[in-house]
Structure 1
Amino acid sequence: MTSQSESSNANLISPTGKTGAVQMRIKNANAQHDRLSQTKSMILETSVEITKPVSRHRRNHSQHYISDKIVSKDMLVNKNKEGVLNKTKITDKGKKLRKNWTASYAVLSDHKLEFLKESKEQAASGLKSTTNPEVIDLWGAQVEWANEKSSRRNVFQITTSSGNEFLLQSDEDVAIVEWFEAIKNTIDSLGTKQQFTPLGINLQKSSSTELLNLADEAKEKKNEHRKSLIFKLNYSASDTSDRNRVKTRLKKFISRRPSLKTLQEKGLIKDQVFGCHLETLCKRENTTVPHFVKQCIEAIEKRGLDADGIYRVSGNLSIIQKLRFIVNQEEKLNLDDSQWEDIHVVTGVLKMFFRELPEPLFPYSFFEQFVEAIKIQENDLRVKSIRNLVKKLPRPNHDTMKTLFEHLRKITIGASVNLMSTQSLGIVFGPTLLRPEMDKGNMAVCMVYQNQIVELMLMEYENIFC
C-alpha cells in the first residue's frame, strides 16, 4: 500500500520538483470557484433587506413623499367608523313594526351600515355569530333627528330608498352626534358618485329591466318628437286661423273668471286651519287662541290626562288625517264622537297643527334670544330673561303658548300615572314649538336647547306666565 501511494505521489510531481498538470487543474478549478463566488455575490438572498434608493434631489423626494400621503376628500368622508349603537327597525317596506331596541356593534363603511353581533376583534378570535349581519344600504337614504318617535334621548332615523325605517340611539351625546354627521356625510358623498348615461340612466342603481324600460321610453320620445316635426311641416294656414280663434276664446274666458275673493265669499274656496299663519287664523276667528286648539285641549283634559304615554304615543295616522280634513273643511267638529275615542288621535292632530304652522309658536325672530336666555347659569336670571321674552311675543303667540303650557302643566302633575314628566314633554314639544329659520348644521346642540327651554317653562310656569 505504501509503495502504491508513493508511486501516485510521484506521478503528481514533475522531475523538476514543481507541480505539473495537476497544479494547472487545481488553478483552473480555483479560478472557476472565484468566478462562481463573484456570480453568487450578484444574487440577493431572501433575508437581505432591499433599501429604497434615496433621491439626490431632496426637493423632488419631499414632493413625492407628500403625494403619497395625500388623502382624497371621499376617503375622509367614507372613513370607517364603528362602535356600539342601540337600533330598532320601525318600518319594513312601508309596513309599521313594533319597536324592539337591541344593542349592536355598528360598522360604517363605503355605502352601507352593518350591525354585527360582536366586534371585529371578537370575530377575528373565532367567536363568529351564526346569523348574518343586518345591513342598511345608504344609497339614496335620508337621515334626520327623530326624538319625538321614542321616549329615549338622542334618537335619529334612517329612511332607505326601499322604504325601510330605522331608529338609532346612544346615551352618549358626543358619540351620537359623530355617528349622525358620519352617516350624513356618507349619504351626501354617495349622491355625488352616481354615474349617468346620456339618456339619464343611473348605472349603479338600475337593474337590467329598468335599463331596457328607460331605453324604450327614450325611443318612444324620439318617435313622438319626429311626429311633431312632421305635424309642424304639414301645418296649414286654415289650422293657424282655428288656433287663433281658440286663443281668443280662452283669453275671454280667463278675463271673465271670478277672483279668489269672490270664490271665498261664495264658499267655493275655504281658508284652511292647518298650515295657516297663527296671526291670520286668530284674526279670521276674532280670537287670540284658535278654536281648534281649545277644542283639543278640552277633550284631552276631559278624558285623557291619565292615558299612558300621552303625547308620546302616536295615534292612527289615517284617522288623524281624516280629522285634519274635517277641520280644514270647517265642518262641525265633535271630538266626543266614537270615531275619535282614541285620545292619542286627538293629541296627534294637535301636535300636527303646531308642527305645520308656517312659523312656529316661538317666532323665528325670538329663537336666538331664547337660546341665549337658557344658557344663563343662575336660575333666577334665566327665568326672568325668559319671562321678559314671553311678554314681548305677539298676542296670538303669547295667549296660545300660555294656554298650551297650562294644559301641559296639568299633564306633568299626573306624571306618576301617565308617565310623562317635564323632561319627556320637553323632548316631544321642543322641536315642534321652536326651531331656527335656517338650518345651521348643528342640529344636536340646537335640539338640546329646544328641549331645555320647554322643560324650564313647564317647571317655572307660574313665574313665567302669571
Structure 2
Amino acid sequence: SLDSWGTSEDADAPSKRHSTSDLSDATFSDIRREGWLYYKQILTKKGKKAGSGLRQWKRVYAALRARSLSLSKERREPGPAAVGAAAAGAGEDEAAPVCIGSCLVDISYSETKRRHVFRLTTADFCEYLFQAEDRDDMLGWIRAIRENSRAEGEDPGCANQALISKKLNDYRKVSHSSGPKADSSPKGSRGLGGLKSEFLKQSAARGLRTQDLPAGSKDDSAAAPKTPWGINIIKKNKKAAPRAFGVRLEECQPATENQRVPLIVAACCRIVEARGLESTGIYRVPGNNAVVSSLQEQLNRGPGDINLQDERWQDLNVISSLLKSFFRKLPEPLFTDDKYNDFIEANRIEDARERMRTLRKLIRDLPGHYYETLKFLVGHLKTIADHSEKNKMEPRNLALVFGPTLVRTSEDNMTDMVTHMPDRYKIVETLIQHSDWFFSDEEDKGERTPVGDKEPQAVPNIEYLLPNIGRTVPPGDPGSADLLEI
C-alpha cells in the first residue's frame, strides 16, 4: 500500500546546512508522517555543491509537519517541548528543518547503489537524497511530501516553475562546457580483432583509402584559413567521405552482418559487449567530451584512417558516449517523427495487453533501417541488463539514459521534453524487458502478451524529468556515482 509506514537502517549524524526559508508559517504540532530514513545532502542553497561532509549518508528520524520536514538523531515524543524545539530550530547536533514549500520530490532513478531512494529539491535549490525502508514506504513519503508542499489552492505547475527553469538552465550550461578528463577504464584489445578490418573493408567498398585523405585533414568547418579572394571559385574535384554522424540511417555505412544497421552502431556495441558487460555504470558514466568529439570527426572523415590501438578507442566510457551521440545526432529519430505521438499515446493505454500489442504494431510499422537498428540496439541493451548484478544497469537505468535520446522528435521542443519524459523512459524500459516478444519474427495471431491485463502503468508525471535532467559529470568531477548523462 502507498500508505504503509516503514523504518530504515543505520547511518551517521545529520548535516546542518539546510533550506530553512519560509519556515515561520509552518505548524509543528501536526505530524503528517514520521519514521526513520537515511539521508544525505547533495546541494546547498543556490544549488551549490555540498561539501564532502554533507555527502555522507546519515540516519535520522524524519517528521513531516505542514510544510516542514524535521530531521533528528533520535525519535522525539510528541509534546510541547518537542514542538518548541522543532519550531526554534536545530540544536548543536541536530539538523535544521527542511522547508518543503513548492519543492520537487520523486524517485531517484539515477541512484544505483541503494534501493528505495527519493530525491527532494527545495525552492531555494537545496537538494537531498532520502532512502526509505521499502518501496511502499518510499512512495508514501513522496506522496505525503507532495501533498504538504503546496499552499492551499496553489497550482503545482506554477509552484515548480522556478525549479524547472533552474534545472534546465543548469543543463544547458553543462552541455556547452568542456567535459572532464576521461575516467580510467579497462584497457586492452579483446573483442576488437575484426573491427579494424571491418572498417577497412567498408572503406575499400566505397573507394575510400587512407591515402585519399590529406594528413591532418579536418571537417570543412575546421578547414585552414581562407585563401585570397578569387581562388575559392575553383572547385576541388574530390569525392567527400560519407559522414557517420548527423545523417539519416539510410545514408550510414552499413555493418557487414546486417546492411540495415549502421557500422558505427555495430562497432560500439561489439566493443562494449566484449569489454564492458561488467563495467559498473556503463552508459551512465559519460566519457570525455573532447575525446568523443575527436572520434566523431575522425569517423566523419571516413573509416580508412581508424587506428584501434589509439588510446581513445580503449576507454569504454568514450565508446558508450560515442554510441549515445550517434543517436542524439540523427536528423530523423529512431522512432521517427510521424510515429512519435502514436508511441506516446500507446504508452498511456491503461489496458496492459492492449498497450503491448499497440506498441509492437507501431514498432513493426517502422521503416526497415529504423526497425532493424532498434532491434539491434534493444538486443544489445538487454544483454547489458542481463549483467546488472555487476554493472548496476537494470532496464530502468538504461531507459533513463536512452529514453530521451531515442524517443524524441527531430525538433524536440521544451514542452514535449518535460511532459513526455516519463513516457520516453517507460517505452524504452518496456522494450528492454520484453525484447524477445517485441522483435519476434512470428506473426501476431492473438497470442498472449508477456504481461497481464492488470499490470500497473505509471501515470506520467512532470517531476520524473526534473531529478534527472542534465545529470552529466561537470568539469573536474569525473565519475560521480550520483550523476547521469541523458
TM-score by length of 1: 0.50
Larger Rg, first or second structure (1 or 2): 1
Higher helix share goes to which structure? 1
Return the structure number with greater relative CO, CA threshold 8 A, min gap 6.
2
